[in-house]
Amino acid sequence: MEMRLLTKDGDRNVFARRLADARARHGASFRDIGRSQARNMVRLSAANLYGLFERDRDDAENMTAGVALHDLAIYPQSCQQPDLSHYPPQSVLECSDHWSLTRGAGMHAWRGIAVQVVRRNPRAVLVYLAVGRSDHGGFYKAMGFVDAGAPVEYPYLEGPDEGRLWVQPMLLEGDALAKLTSNVHRLKIETRDNYQTIRFDNSDRLRPAANRYPLRVSEMPAASVPL
């Protein structure tokens, strides 16, 4: 299995199409349309996009999952909250647009992006989850994320509340981030081209950050959400 940085415009376009497919297939109530679409394209163009492939060197059309990642020096955080001004912008990573089209692919994509996160040695990792998607919240809590304030309006997608989409900010930092880092270092991976490609065995797993959050496969994000 391979997690690959998408550097070609054509591959990044496939990512965007698969992202839309995942939202439609899983009945997401938010869409990349209307007045926010142009701003969302700018946001995604600034991010690193990673695609998951079942086989080494598969072409982009065989992508089964993906995640976007950027630091706050490259592009600001999606919402003004939480206040992370006490951290240098380059030390905060935002993960977003986590999608999958096959069962289990979302978990493998998380493992791949966790390797990318840890190698950059951040102080904090930020995600925004669509309010009401409790299954996604359960997964991220299992990985050590905690709620970071009250829900806020997400500016890059349109939702069901008169075009507004409400999201819950969640943050990974401190001891929980250290635990994820330790667990990532235990993974059996092969890297090449300065981590542009990561290869790993399907059976390897990341363990939850806290025993009080038992993780079930059904809680792993199966479709795209604004993260």
Specify the pTM. 0.88
pLDDT tens digits, one per residue of 15-72: 999 988 888 776 666 666 666 778 888 999 999 999 999 888 789 999 999 999 999 9
Q: Is 19 helix (H, G, I), strand (E, B) or coil?
A: helix
| pLDDT confidence bin for 222, thresholds 50/70/90 | very low
- Report the alpha-carbon angle 146-148-153, nearest 5: 125
Residue 13, pLDDT above cutoff 80: yes
Closest to 114 in 3D by CA, of 170, 162, 50, 161: 50
CA distance 172 to 215: 17
What's the mean pLDDT in 163-184? 92
Residues linked to residue 159 through DSSP beta bridges, in sequence order? 163
Residue tagged 């199966």 (tokens): 222
* pLDDT score of 86: 97
| pLDDT confidence bin for 213, thresholds 50/70/90 | very low
* pLDDT score of 129: 92
In single-letter form, the type of residue at position 149 comes to G
* pLDDT score of 26: 66
Residues linked to residue 164 through DSSP beta bridges, in sequence order? 161
Altogether, the residues listed in the chain come to a count of 227
What's the mean pLDDT in 193-207? 81
pLDDT tens digits, one per residue of 101-148: 888 888 889 999 999 999 999 999 999 998 875 556 778 888 899 999
* pLDDT score of 29: 61
Q: What does CATH list as the number for 2-219?
A: 3.40.630.30
In single-letter form, the type of residue at position 192 comes to R
* pLDDT score of 225: 45
* pLDDT score of 208: 56
Most confident of 101-110, 199-208, 213-222: 101-110
| pLDDT confidence bin for 209, thresholds 50/70/90 | low
* pLDDT score of 7: 95
For residue 26, CA distances in Å to 57, 120, 165 come to 28, 32, 17
